[in-house]
Amino acid sequence: MKVKAPGRINIIGEHTDYNDGYVLPFAVDRYVFLSIERAEKYIFRSETMNETVEMDELKKLNSWTDYIVGVIKSFEKRGCRVPPVKIEVSSNLPMGAGLSSSAALEVATAFAISEYFGFNLPKLELVKISREAEVEFVGVRCGVMDQFTSAFGKEDHAIFLDTMTLNYEYVPLKLEGYEINLVDSNVKHELSSSEYNKRRQECEEVLRLLGKRSFREVKVDELNKLSTVLRKRAKHVLEENKRVLKSVEALKEGDFETLGKLLFDSHESLRNLYEVSCEETDFIVDFLREKSGILGARMVGGGFGGGVIVLSGKGTFEDIKEELFKAYKEKFGIELSFFQIESADGVQKI
């Protein structure tokens, strides 16, 4: 049996998903493709990595196989035994660009196992299994947005998701006259995962010091009780949530000028308050800010490298790409990659 699960791009709402916040992602038309069949032992094959791993017993290897093994372990915790299988994976999702290839792999694995063995778990349970695998087995304390979007994506729509309640609404993504591109900085700084987890700890410390259960209970005038660093982190979360709500309204009204401004504002907050951007992604955003036809841009994903989402008038970005490519290579000695992004449906059989 074969399935495919899409990556995702988050229009806005960065580092809010693990803080009971709002996010506005959509599934993208780039996928992890996965096939599953019974086998004598566990065999995992990645065409992208050109690697085959065989296991008699499931174990952690600190490699791409952990996403698959983590999902199987999560099924077994629920009493769903997964006998030895051969799982083959390929992908046209760029890794490390902020399109969440890891979540797509987890969701593809969970969906394939559920369908192949007749567990027939609801999509929301597959989302929980996938996230649990990443948090508890892989060890990245991510929120639920990536897995949720890969499972629940809908073509021509973004998902306005409340990560505290998991209530969601499909918001039409009508891009007539506009387009969304992703610029991959092709850098990933080593501190990305450690700093990501550190930001989570800082946000938890904010709640502890303020005696709150959730950022939903935090008021702006309470932030002066915090140290400078914690105040900055909390301010980003509170303001980013407001930007998501404004972005939802802008999308519904087809007001892409306002949406673009919110993207730029989000990047400044991620740079100055949450401090998860880096010199390379700042350069890309600052370069694009000066170009006519570019409505907005910001870093996406965990930070410290990765991708930049760009909102522009249709065809406008094409004229700027080459100039950006040259300026970036001259400054950093690195070549950029570009991807035009279209919306897509969530995980499905092929």
Element containing residue 194 per DSSP (H, E): helix 192-210
Give me the residue label for tokens 């006259």.
177
Q: Taking Cα atoms as reference points, which of 210, 184, 222, 203 lies closest to residue 273?
A: 203
The single-letter DSSP state of residue 313 is: E
* Sequential DSSP letters for 47-59: TTTTEEEEESS--
Instruction: Answer whether 158's CB lies under 8 Å from 28's CB.
Output: no
* 146 catalytically annotated: yes
Please tell me whether residue 273 adopts helix, strand or coil conformation. Answer: coil
Residue 160, C-beta contacts closer than 8 angstroms, at least 6 positions apart: 22, 23, 24, 168, 169, 170, 171, 244, 248
Give me the residue label for tokens 């969601």.
168
Spatial distance between the Cα atoms of 284 and 153, rounded to a whole number of angstroms: 28
Q: Is 107 exposed, middle or buried (0-12, 13-18, 19+ CB in 10 A)?
A: buried
Residue 228, C-beta contacts closer than 8 angstroms, at least 6 positions apart: none
Q: Is 232 exposed, middle or buried (0-12, 13-18, 19+ CB in 10 A)?
A: middle
Q: Please pick, among 17, 146, 184, 265, the residue that the annotation labels catalytic.
A: 146
Angstrom CA distances, 98 to 50, 79, 175, 246, stand at 22, 33, 21, 23
Annotated catalytic residues are: 146
